[in-house]
Amino acid sequence: MLQNDNRPIALFDSGIGGLTVLRALMDQLPNESFVYLGDTARLPYGSKSPQTIERYLQQNTRFLESRNVKAVVVACNSASTVLLGRGPRQGVPIYNVIEPGARTALKFSRNRKIGVLGTKATIAALSYVNTIRSLDQAAMVYQQACPLLVPLVEEGWEADPVAKLIVERYVGPLMAGDDGLDTLILGCTHYPVLKKIIGEAAGSGIHLVDGAEAVGAELAADLASGRLIPSASREFSLEVMTTDTAPGFLEVARRLMLPHRIERLVEVDISLPSLLKP
């Protein structure tokens, strides 16, 4: 049995949002190296059909597996939704962000009344509803699609007054009912960037669940148990790639990743036939 595995852990998202997962993993797993892919050429995923997202999932996973990684984290709720519908697979372990987030929500909820903010794809697929109910049939789950939040984060407008107005428009109706929600899942990896204003809109006493932190804890547990082999290298590395170098991406990414540093971006073409062979 291997005593150590210095291969990196890979992550992908449609854009900047998955960097919230990367930052959480770097905080929790300081000895590991990472590879990140932002599929910015095809952003956003949340408004695409399940068939299209499935194709993106396959292409991104195969590309990252070709980089000799030891695990792949699907740092995107819309793609994780598609992943949940697939059966067991051989090869590199793949982690989604929905199941860890659902388990964490149930852990913190006192009354089993849980709200979910997500993209249209995640909400339409009932991803959190089905996952939470499979874990606790007594739980009640209330959803709200928030299609404008991803573009706000990608533009770096999280501090703009318009972000507060839009968040209040989405969160207000969810919290205004008589349902008595006590837990709110940030069901898109872009949303932790807006965590402060989402918390303000939700009100005091509402526990916000960040799937980035939840999946980090799951990976840490697997490294501790031996399901994944930890790195013994002191030569940490971070490679950040995009499928299109959008203006302003690096600036926003560096701000979101603080105190961690992104030195540069590498633009890649994941459609190369040699990378898409079964």
| Nearby residues of 48 by Cβ (< 8 Å), 6 or more positions away | 42, 56, 78, 121
Q: Which two tokens stand for residue 140?
A: 């009640």
DSSP string across 43-80? --STTS-HHHHHHHHHHHHHHHHTT--SEEEE--HHHH
φ, ψ (nearest 5 deg) of residue 156:
75, 30
Q: Known catalytic residue: 146?
A: no
- Choosing from 188, 212, 240, 241, the catalytic residue is 188
| Nearby residues of 2 by Cβ (< 8 Å), 6 or more positions away | 229
Distance CA 38, CA 117 (A): 22
Residue 110, CA distances (Å) to 107, 183, 205, 206, 217 in order: 8, 8, 11, 11, 21
User: What one-letter code names the amino acid at 69?
Assistant: V
Distance CA 71, CA 103 (A): 21
- Choosing from 9, 76, 83, 139, the catalytic residue is 76
Active site positions, annotated: 76, 188
